[in-house]
Structure 1
Amino acid sequence: MSVWWVLLALSCLSFSAGLQKTNRYEGYKIYEISGKARSLSFSETLNELVKNASYYEVFSGFNGGNPAQIMVHPHEQVNFVQLMDDNNVDYDIINRNVGLTLSRQFETNQMLRQWFPYNGRLGTERYYSHEEINQFIEDLAVKYPRRVFLKTVGRSYENRWLKTITITNGDARRNKNVILVDGGFHAREWISPAAAIYLINQLVENLEDNADLLQDFDWVILPVVNPDGYEYTQLSADTRMWRKTRQPSSSNCIGTDPNRNFDFHWNEEGASDDPCDDTFAGAKAFSEPEALVVGDLIHSYADRGQMYLTLHSYGSLILYPWGWTAAVPDTEEDLKEVAEAGKSAILEATGTNYTVGPSTTTINYAASGASDDYAFNAGFPISFTMELPFGGTGFDPPASEIDRIVKETWVGIAAMARRVIQKYPLA
């Protein structure tokens, strides 16, 4: 542990009195249920239980046999424990007060912003705002005018600019193959834009080490798909777990799940038509300007695009189509081959074991209207959702874990990209 992290831990003690105030998640607990409990009857019981979003939220299901993690409202914890006992299901409490955890993290993040102001670079010391991320890629375009190109591709509902960065090797060759990457679909998954930033840094600043990744391929990266939601989660501990966009619906509820809003099997299995649900598919396909931007990007590069990668959190998963059905594509072996390259590289480098597989059957639920299915159907032969590792209460690794997670993620992305380059050479 570095000296400054020790100092930070000590300084946080001074906030302890202020952290005791009640917030939205005060007294919430996160329970972990063993993957051994995945009997059909219990899974069905659990699925019915967690439909009550006022009291339950599933952070991860029985992903590839992994434990399920569920956040439970204080008023429902006795009933939840009784259900576990009645079904002879073992469980652990992995967080006894989510509100307290989020409050501490909020205070820490506020201090880190003061200690590490934006200075022309984005490191791994803290999480950065959408404005800082946009400024960073703008600065890179100025610093490397022959290799880095910026494009404004749209605006969010709250009028924040969505910008892509295109990274090349500077040889000015046209019509290269493309790898398209995005992050920050779900607002609370801060580690996703952080991983996209680290990816950008590696490709831009370390050209010599990564020349093969840019020889016949250009990389197009949209670091934050959902900037309105992302900024909303940074306002307070109360808003930290927000997932959706910020466009109001016809009801009193706000936001749509942008990763259920794509016009491919829209609003089918695994999406909700209730505007108050976290998986609300929207009033119509592409109702969200942020999802429409990604859809346009996918179509813009579909003729040259060889891999689409969307970064999410959490679960240590590399998922490929389909998400709308338990069926798999005819080219599953190609998808699996590339995903396994990333899994093997991460395991060898860090010991973290990723699970690879088709989305629906690997995570045990469908997710229709998602971007990876849309990109695959549009013509990208390789299309993945990469769920980064667990941290904090699940979606919120503390700043001290950013460096480890993003470096590990880069290892996997680079390995998958190299396999894609082998499989799909420039014609």
Structure 2
Amino acid sequence: MALSCGRIAYDDQPKKNAVAELQDRFDASMWNYNATSVDIFVRGQQLKKAECFLRAANIPYEVVIEDMQRAIDTENPSLEETELWENRNGHRMTWTAYHRLADIYDWMDYLAQTYPDLCSTKAIGKSVQGRELKVLRISNGNPANRAIWMDGGIHAREWISPATVTYIANELVEDWDNQPDHLRNVDWYVLPVHNPDGYEHSHQYDRLWRKNRGGLQYGPCAGVDLNRNYGYKWGGQGTSKQPCSEIFAGSGPFSEPESKAVSEFMQSSAADWKGFLTFHSYGQYILYPWGYDRVVPPDHADMKRVGDAAAEQMLQASGGSRYTVGPSGSTLYPAAGGSDDWARGALNIKYAYTVELRDTGRYGFVLPANQIKPTGDEAVAFVDIIAQEVAKL
């Protein structure tokens, strides 16, 4: 079924009210929004009606993706060549296509087997449907190392996120001997797919699925937004108590096994956590706490300084992609129960950032696979800056 993504001006309260009515009347869903605009999905049979509604409400808009199904169909190239890649490299990961969970986990095991003095894997828990949450640890074994957490795929449809996180880890490991000290003297903990059930569901059944696959006690409205399920300021602004909502926060803080597993692992670990980096899409933002409200932490100026430095290095790495830097709640919108707020508020991790990766809306969640490498190069540049700052602590 064809879908369309309309970019709508969203700069005053009457327009915001009209957008809310649009969602209710035409079964539209909000993809991404900030203070001045919003991207909306409208299913094909509702598109003309929705356009009439917007014109009547005097709301300017543009259709960004005319045929969503075509965009989905052309997003990911065939993986037929990955067997040859596996024969050459010992794994099927290519970073020229989006891979399923099995390929990602096999690649993690390959690194642990090939570089046993550097890499190891650990299942820190299981998902609602029993899939492992597998973490890759990259460490030179120095007991004085600081620790940085990286995760991706908390929202199922954001395929560029696991692809980017694995790209970063692969770049670190495969060129380890040439890495600078500020990257080598870190214990890296990498969770490429925070939401394995949702990720697989988005590959098999519904490309645009967001949540996990929990909450089945709520009937047809399966799923909890794991990035609203963390315990810091849970249930506040930007969340929903309605199970059918895409921002349903769950029945309580850490009600879902995926978020609970991460929180328990990080709290019980002896690691000296100094960085928490979670990768999402889309919009090209570098965000830091707080997300639960439009307030900033006491070290706001320092967080902005580091974010700006990272954005500049990312611009140089990619040859043109600009990332906006700011606190989540005011740069985008308040959203309580996020993992980055929890990392800062509960664990007191200094450098807690959310990175919203490419793009700014031309493709949105269905970013073509040929964008993986340039996006990955940007993210490597971001991580390099964070590691430099961690080394100073």
> What TM-score do the two structures reach when normalised by structure 2?
0.91
Q: Does 1:254 align with 2:222?
A: yes
For 1:225 and 1:392, how far apart are their aligned partners in 2? 26
For 2:273 and 2:13, how far apart are their aligned partners in 1? 40
Aligned counterpart in structure 1 of residue 119 of structure 2, from 143, 148, 152: 148
What SS does the aligned partner of 1:113 have?
coil
What SS does the aligned partner of 1:380 have?
coil
AA in 1 matched with 2:2? G
Shift of 1:415: 2.1
Aligned counterpart in structure 2 of residue 123 of structure 1, from 76, 82, 94: 94
1:113 paired residue number: 79
1:244 paired residue number: 211
Matches for 1:22-421 after TM superposition, within 5 Å: 26-34=1-9, 38-46=11-19, 48-49=20-21, 51-52=23-24, 55-62=27-34, 67-105=37-75, 108-109=76-77, 112-117=78-83, 119=86, 120-121=90-91, 122-168=93-139, 170=140, 172-236=141-205, 239-252=206-219, 253-301=221-269, 304-349=272-317, 350-363=319-332, 365-377=333-345, 378-390=347-359, 393-421=363-391
Shift of 1:301: 4.8
Shift of 1:322: 1.0
User: CA, structure 1 residues 69+323, in 2 after alignment: closer, same or farther (shift >3 Å)?
Assistant: same
What SS does the aligned partner of 2:246 have?
coil
What SS does the aligned partner of 2:176 have?
coil
AA in 2 matched with 1:413? V
Is 2:146–2:390's contact at 8 Å kept on the other side of the alignment? no
Is 2:18–2:57's contact at 8 Å kept on the other side of the alignment? no
For 1:208 and 1:147, how far apart are their aligned partners in 2? 11
Could you give the per-residue CA deviations for residues 204-230 of structure 1, whole angstroms, max 9, x where no partner exists? 111233232334321111111111110
Shift of 1:166: 1.1
For 2:26 and 2:217, how far apart are their aligned partners in 1? 20
Aligned residue pair count: 384
1:12 paired residue number: none
Is 1:303–1:379's contact at 8 Å kept on the other side of the alignment? no
**Where does structure 1 lack aligned partners over 5 or more consecutive residues?**
1-25
User: CA, structure 1 residues 202+303, in 2 after alignment: closer, same or farther (shift >3 Å)?
Assistant: closer
User: CA, structure 1 residues 250+53, in 2 after alignment: closer, same or farther (shift >3 Å)?
Assistant: farther
AA in 2 matched with 1:33? I
User: CA, structure 1 residues 214+96, in 2 after alignment: closer, same or farther (shift >3 Å)?
Assistant: closer
Could you give the per-residue CA deviations for residues 221-257 of structure 1, whole angstroms, max 9, x where no partner exists? 1111111110111114xx1001111124322121111
What SS does the aligned partner of 1:299 have?
helix
User: CA, structure 1 residues 214+189, in 2 after alignment: closer, same or farther (shift >3 Å)?
Assistant: same
**Where does structure 2 lack aligned partners over 5 or more consecutive residues?**
none
Shift of 1:78: 3.8
The percentage of counterpart residues that share the same residue type is 32
For 2:25 and 2:372, how far apart are their aligned partners in 1? 29
Is 2:284–2:356's contact at 8 Å kept on the other side of the alignment? yes
- What is the root-mean-square deviation in Å for CA atoms of aligned residues? 2.1
Could you give the per-residue CA deviations for residues 63-96 of structure 1, whole angstroms, max 9, x where no partner exists? 6x5x532111335434432443345443221112
AA in 2 matched with 1:98? M
AA in 2 matched with 1:81? E
More divergent stretch after superposition (267-276 vs 388-397): 388-397
> What TM-score do the two structures reach when normalised by structure 1?
0.84
